[in-house]
Structure 1
Amino acid sequence: MAEHQWAPPEHPDFTLHQPVGFDTKLAGALTPVDPPQPAWADIAFEEIPDTLHLKCFAIASSDVAMLVRTAWQGRLQEVLVDRDYVTRRTPDFRTR
């Protein structure tokens, strides 16, 4: 019987689209949100024609911007977003 050497599969890295964030100079001082609050955010990404409406958590805020944490594309990303594009999200615990 021939011997077979096992090797894990090799997966090429996929392109991680970078979010188009808010200008940090215009955001001002950020105040941490404790605990992080569930939110929806409209986030634009490079090379994607439309903005995406994503589930996220607000982790810091200022008068004009919010720092949100999202896990789109399977990677944890923090994006500074215009405050007008972030809305409060109420988790639906009945679906769990």
Structure 2
Amino acid sequence: MAEHQWAPPEHPDVTLHRPLGFSAQLAGPLTIIDPPQPVWADIAFEQMPGKLHLKCFAIASSDVAVLVQTAWQGRRQEILVDRDYVFRRALDPRAR
């Protein structure tokens, strides 16, 4: 019987695209949203054409911007988004 040496699988690193968020200086002071609210957000990323329409949770807001959390690319990201590109969404009652 041949011997097999175990080796961990090799996975290439995933290229993380950086979001093009709203300027924190222009957003002004943020007010915490408790509990976080489910929203859709249109977010632009570097080296990607257009904007992605992502499921997010709004965690803070100001008069002109909303801080959202998303799990795009398998990692939690917090992005400051212009308020015009954030839309309310409803959670499926069966998923609660």
Which residue is equivalent to 1:8? 8
Q: When the two structures are aligned, how many residues end up with a matched partner?
A: 96
| Alpha-carbon displacement from aligned partner over 1:6-49 (angstroms, at most 9, x marks no partner) | 11101111100000000110000011100000000000000110
After TM superposition, list the pairs within 5 Å mapping 1:3-82 onto structure 2: 3-82=3-82
- Give the partner amino acid of 2:89: R
Q: CA separation in 2, counterparts of 1:34 and 1:18?
A: 27
Which residue is equivalent to 2:90? 90
Q: Displacement of 1:93 after TM fit?
A: 2.5
Q: Displacement of 1:94 after TM fit?
A: 4.3
Q: CA separation in 2, counterparts of 1:46 and 1:11?
A: 23
1:69 match: secondary structure: strand
- Give the partner amino acid of 1:80: L
**Structural RMSD (CA):** 1.3
TM-score by length of 1: 0.94
Give 5+ residue unaligned stretches, structure 2: none
2:68 match: secondary structure: strand
Give 5+ residue unaligned stretches, structure 1: none
1:63 match: secondary structure: coil
